Amino acid sequence: MILFHLKTGKKYYIKDPKDFSTHLGVIKKEYLENAKPGEIIKSHLGEEFVVLKDTFIDLLEFLRRGPQTTHPKDFGLLVSLTGLSSGWKVVEGGAGSGILTSFLANTVKPDGRVYSYEKRGEFYEIAKENLEKTGLIDYVDLKLKDITIGIDEKNVDIVVLDVGDPWRVLEHAYNSLRVGGYLAVFLPNITSVLKLLELNRKFYLLGIYESIVREWIYRKDVLRPRHMQLSHTEFLILFRKIK
């Protein structure tokens, strides 16, 4: 469950009900065990919390982080450009913390599957732990393997790469994809983008994209943009296998 603090909007994730304690006060285990979504619970300091059923997006905020993760806005862009949906067969290169893996699995379930490659053992363990927390591990084949060596799966719908040297996967991705399938590559800087484009020989380039999000704040009848803007996180380079 999620405890939503009414004054600040701060969220707290409760997996197993037990005495909950923060600087906002203590809530006894018995209150949490009997709480229902929408109910307001007060701490011993009188602070009010609303009980909510946790969603996939709520859970993402409380997952363990390792390497840099793909931002939700970039995943949303990927879905809007490809139509990624339930039933798709996905190969992912670079599981990292498993955040993007979780997004992919949550989108293609219950009939699709994600085959995720991670070459570093410590990241593999973080990704596995996070996929278990989100309840999505049953939709993922998580492999401790370097995707630059090769891809086992064939006739897949999309290959998604979040690795430092994606040009080394181009041939493997082409052989793995069905005709009409997509190759999506996330890269942090334009130098890497240019190298990828120069080394591409077989894929049709659909486009190079950057997603920029600006949040607005509403306070006491005043509406203004947030001063700190989430602009560049990474580039999305999208290819398609057309023959």
pLDDT at position 96 is 92
CA atoms within 13 A on the CB side of 183: 25
104 and 11 in one domain? no
37 and 144 in one domain? no
Given a cut of 50, the residues of the chain with pLDDT beneath it are none
pLDDT at position 165 is 96
CATH of residue 16: 3.10.330.20
pTM: 0.86
214 and 155 in one domain? yes
pLDDT at position 114 is 98
147 and 185 Cβ atoms separated by less than 8 Å: no
142 and 23 in one domain? no
223 and 103 in one domain? yes
pLDDT at position 230 is 66
Pair type for strands 222-225 and 113-118:
unpaired
CATH of residue 108: 3.40.50.150
Distance CA 205, CA 207 (A): 6
Q: Which amino acid is at 164?
A: G
Structural domain containing residue 231 = 60-240
101 and 41 in one domain? no
76 and 39 in one domain? no
Number of residues that this document lists for the chain: 243
Per-residue pLDDT tens over the stretch 91-149? 999 999 999 999 999 999 999 999 999 999 999 999 999 999 999 999 999 999 999 99
